[in-house]
């Protein structure tokens, strides 16, 4: 899947401290992507090589019928 700004990605490098974290791509250039992680009261922007991230499709909630 193509990784563009706005894509939700997961870190797949098991040696990285952000392994299995999910974030939002902010910028892509020179084979690297800046990924924004947000959680509670903190936000962090970290740059990763494109080979260390994987695009994911977020799971959506199913609406219950009334």
In a domain, 20, yes or no: yes
State which residues form the domain around 17: 7-55
pLDDT at residue 32, rounded to an integer: 96
Domains identified in the chain, total number: 1
pLDDT of 18? 94
List the chain residues with pLDDT less than 70: 66
Residue 43 confidence (pLDDT): 92
Would you say residue 19 lies in a domain? Answer: yes
Q: Which residues contact 12 (CB under 8 A, 6 or more apart)?
A: 19, 52, 53, 54
Q: 60 in a domain, yes or no?
A: no
Classify residue 42 by burial, with Cβ atoms within 10 Å: 0-12, 13-18, 19+. Answer: exposed
CATH number of the CATH domain containing 51: 2.30.30.140
pLDDT at 65: 74
Q: What is the number of H-type helices and E-type strands within the chain? A: 0, 5
Which pLDDT does position 19 carry in this prediction? 96
In this prediction, residue 61 carries a pLDDT of 76
25: helix, strand or coil: strand
Question: Distance (Å, rounded) from C-alpha 20 to C-alpha 3?
Answer: 17
């Amino acid at each position: 899947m193509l990784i563009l700004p706005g894509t939700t990605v997961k870190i797949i490098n098991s040696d990285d401290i952000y392994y299995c974290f999910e974030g939002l791509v902010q910028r892509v250039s020179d084979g690297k992507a800046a990924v924004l992680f947000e959680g509670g009261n903190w936000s962090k922007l970290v740059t990763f090589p494109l080979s260390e991230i994987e695009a994911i499709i977020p799971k959506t909630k199913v609406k219950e019928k009334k």
